[in-house]
Amino acid sequence: QVHPVESGGDSVQTGGSLRLACVVSGYSIVSGCTGWFRQAPGKEREGVAAIFGADITRYTAPVKGRFTISQDIAENTVYLQMSSLKPEDTAMYYCARGPAWSRSYCLNLQTAQFGDWGQGTRVTVSS
């Protein structure tokens, strides 16, 4: 297994922005599935955004309109641009490899369908 490496987490105030990066190895992101997830203290890990193939994306309701997932194919890196951050966005953020064989499974962002998890990067949003 090859695990991705996340970076970019920080402490910001409400309304701030951050860009997280996920450097992937072991597969080509342009033909795969990569998801961003987060886990707040005392809560289950939840999906945030996924990208399937070159540019098919999906966002979960809490972040839609505020977060953008994108990828740099040359760098095999997947980004999560986060804007208008809220205290409820505070969590450890993880990226993971998803099922490249199914667009629907990828975009459903079910944790059990993803593997090769990174170590995570912490985001803290203060009010």
Q: Phi/psi zone of residue 116: left (φ > 0), alpha (ψ -120 to 50 degrees), beta?
A: left
pLDDT, averaged across the chain = 96
User: Is the model's pLDDT at 2 over the cut of 90?
Assistant: no
pLDDT band at 26 (very low <50, low <70, confident <90, very high): confident
**Cβ of 35: how many Cβ atoms within 10 Å?**
29
User: Is the model's pLDDT at 1 over the cut of 90?
Assistant: no
What is the tens place of the pLDDT at every residue in 41-67? 999 999 999 999 999 999 999 999 999
What is the tens place of the pLDDT at every residue in 64-86? 999 999 999 999 999 999 999 99
